[in-house]
Amino acid sequence: MKKEIHAKNYRPVIFLDTSSGKKFLIPSTIETQDSGKWEDGKTYPQHSVEISSASHPFYTGQDKVLDIAGRVEKFKARRAAAVKSPAKKKTSSKTK
CB atoms within 10 A of CB 13: 21
User: Quick one: which of 58, 33, 29 has its CA closest to 45?
Assistant: 33
Mean pLDDT of 41-70: 77
Beta bridge pairs of residue 63: none
Q: What is the CA 10 to chain-centroid distance, rounded?
A: 26
pLDDT of the residue at 13: 95
Report the pLDDT value the prediction gives residue 96, as an integer from 0 to 100: 52
76: left (phi over 0), alpha (psi -120 to 50) or beta: alpha
Reported as a pLDDT band with limits 50, 70 and 90, residue 84 is confident
Q: How confident is the model at residue 29 (pLDDT cuts 50, 70, 90)?
A: very high
For the beta sheet containing 43-49, the strands, ordered from the edge strand earlier in sequence to the opposite edge, are: 23-28, 11-17, 43-49, 34-37
Mean predicted confidence (pLDDT) in 14-39: 92
Which residues is 14 bridged to in the sheet? Answer: 25, 46
pTM (2 d.p.): 0.57
Q: Tell whether the model's pLDDT for residue 81 goes beyond 80.
A: yes
Question: What is the structure's pLDDT at 34?
Answer: 93
